[in-house]
Amino acid sequence: MQQNERINFGSKLGAILAAAGSAVGLGNVWRFPYETGNHGGAAFILIYLGCIFLFGLPIMISEFVIGRRSKASTGKAYQVLAPRTPWKWVGYMGVLTGFLILGYYAVVAGWTLEYVVQAAMGNFFGKEAADFIAMFSDFSQDPLRPLLWLFVFVLTTHFVIVKGVKEGIERSSKVMMPILFVLVLLLAVCSVMLPGAGEGVEFLLKPDFSKVTSDVFLGAMGQAFFSMSLGMGCLSTYASYFGKDTRLGATAMSVGVIDTLIAILAGLIIFPAAFSVGIQPDAGPSLIFITLPNVFQQAFGGWPVLAYICAVAFYVLLAMAALTSTISLHEVPTAFLHEQFGFTRGKAARIVTVGVLGVGIVSSLALGDWSGYTVCGKNFFDALDFLTAKIMLPLGGMFGAVFVGWKLDRRLLHDEVTNCGRLRAPYYPLFVLILRYLCPVGIALIFINELGGF
């Protein structure tokens, strides 16, 4: 593909918002709280923050470098930057990872649509915690409804992808991100003020290091990669659409801050509310779908109209945040098929969509009728989440760091980080050091630790 054929994001802000749109999604509002709950709270969050700084930000910048420099999607980028080397397999693994993540992510994204409808029909009124638990389990075990929403969600993603980069991705991110942020902030304030919420705040802020096991490290690392959309070339594919003036370091920092803030705020919504109504923080993937409706009921109990508006707005925004993430996941395999095999974008997108629906159907049924089928003791949905988030993403990130730190030409790297010398980048020496040593060694240690090596 010729360089001048590539469409770019319209502005630097557009680049930040598109990357933030990819990063902010169900990972922040759905996965972060349930992983935090499963891993004991505050200590997990501290380790998570450490992973963001030590692995997340440097790897994000290195993905930006790979993408903008190669002007190709991740599947092709390594072939452009290191022709005829096995590095291309890192790109291929990224494409596969993105495809698999989309397969189960789209299932949960579909759930958000069910909750938009439930909220809009006023079905949260007069219900209590136990009713919301029953509501979720009825829904997720229904053989058809979750599949219907899965189809709706994947097809919507498909249409945005076919419409193209600038129109679809940039414009939707621009409108949605600020509104989501305000609403999340508002709900966090409401949740913290619920009766008995203090225990939840403490759970989030007071670390108990006696609960830290090897799983906590692996979980925190996986969550950092998942939440920041790292380790599979998603952001590097977006960066291939960045303009030459986009500041890579500053963009990574903005995306990291926005993503982390929204995750912490989501925690501040979920846990105070969960403790307030007596729901266990380790309820797993269903956590936000059973705690959140309570927040709307209890916090705005006296003002039903407000409760109604907030509930509908929240699920609509969550669905949109999920959509900007599914678009970024879909883009990776689609761009790969387009660039590698010369399919039109439309055909490439159709192939990906059909495959994703297949994985999605199996993931969805794994939470209901097919929950008896397990892989290593996990149902298919959980197994897929474990394999991608806790193994494939950190591995991909580790290879990416090694590639940029050791293999990529130093001058080229410096040019990318400083926009050919036009920017000052005082963090550059530290950045290279972290990429070369800390990322590969740190990630490897967490894997070895998990395997019982220490």
Shortest reach from residue 257's CB to ligand TRP, in Å: 15
Residue 82 CA to residue 58 CA, distance in Å, equals 21
Near ligand TRP by CB under 6 A: residue from 14, 21, 27, 56: 27
β-partners of residue 137 are none
Distance CA(338)–CA(346), nearest Å, equals 9
Binding of residue 22 to ligand TRP (CB under 6 A): yes
Question: Which 364-393 residues touch ligand TRP, going by CB under 6 A?
Answer: 393
Residue with Cβ nearer ligand TRP (118 or 326): 326
Interior CA angle at 17 toward 62 and 284, to 5°?
80
Q: Pattern of binders to ligand TRP over 285-324, x per CB under 6 A?
A: ----------------------------------------
Provide the minimum distance between the beta carbon of 226 and ligand TRP in the complex, in angstroms, as a whole number: 5
Of 16, 19, 20, 23, which one interacts with ligand TRP (CB under 6 A)? 23
Shortest Å, Cβ 249 to ligand TRP: 20
Least separation in angstroms between CB 393 and ligand TRP: 6
Q: Which is nearer to ligand TRP, 28 or 379 (CB)?
A: 28
Measured distance CA(449)–CA(214) in Å, rounded: 6
In the range 101-160, which residues lie near ligand TRP by CB under 6 A? 101
Q: Which of 112, 115, 262, 264 is nearest to 182 (CA)?
A: 262
If the CB atoms of residues 124 and 399 are measured against ligand TRP, the closer one turns out to be: 399
Question: Helix, strand, or coil here: 379?
Answer: strand
Q: What are phi and psi of 213, to 5 degrees?
A: -120, 180
Asked whether position 26 contacts ligand TRP by CB under 6 A, the answer is: yes
CB atoms within 10 A of CB 247: 20
202-221 footprint of ligand TRP as x/- string (CB under 6 A): --------------------
In the complex, which residue's CB is closest to ligand TRP?
27
Is 329 an interacting residue with respect to ligand TRP (CB under 6 A)?
yes
Q: x/- binding map, residues 219-248, to ligand TRP, per CB under 6 A?
A: -------xx-x--x-x--------------
Q: Which two tokens stand for residue 289?
A: 């779908």
Gyration radius (Cα) of the chain, Å: 21
Pair 330, 357: CB distance under 8 Å: no
Integer Cα distance of 332 and 233 in angstroms: 7
CA atoms within 13 A on the CB side of 190: 23
Query: HEC string of 357-410?
Result: HHHHHHHHHHCCCCCCCEECCEEHHHHHHHHHHHHHHHHHHHHHHHHHHHHCCH
C-beta of 23 vs 348, nearer to ligand TRP: 23
Rounded to a whole number of angstroms, the minimum distance from the CB of residue 412 to ligand TRP is 25
Cβ closest to ligand TRP, residue 27 vs residue 360: 27
Q: What CA–CA distance (Å, rounded) separates 380 from 392?
A: 16
- What is the nearest approach in angstroms of ligand TRP to the Cβ of residue 107? 13
Q: For residue 364, give the DSSP letter.
A: H
Cα dihedral 450, 442, 61, 183, rounded to 10, equals: 50
Can you give the binding site for ligand TRP, defined by CB under 6 A?
22-23, 25-28, 101, 226-227, 229, 232, 234, 325, 328-329, 393
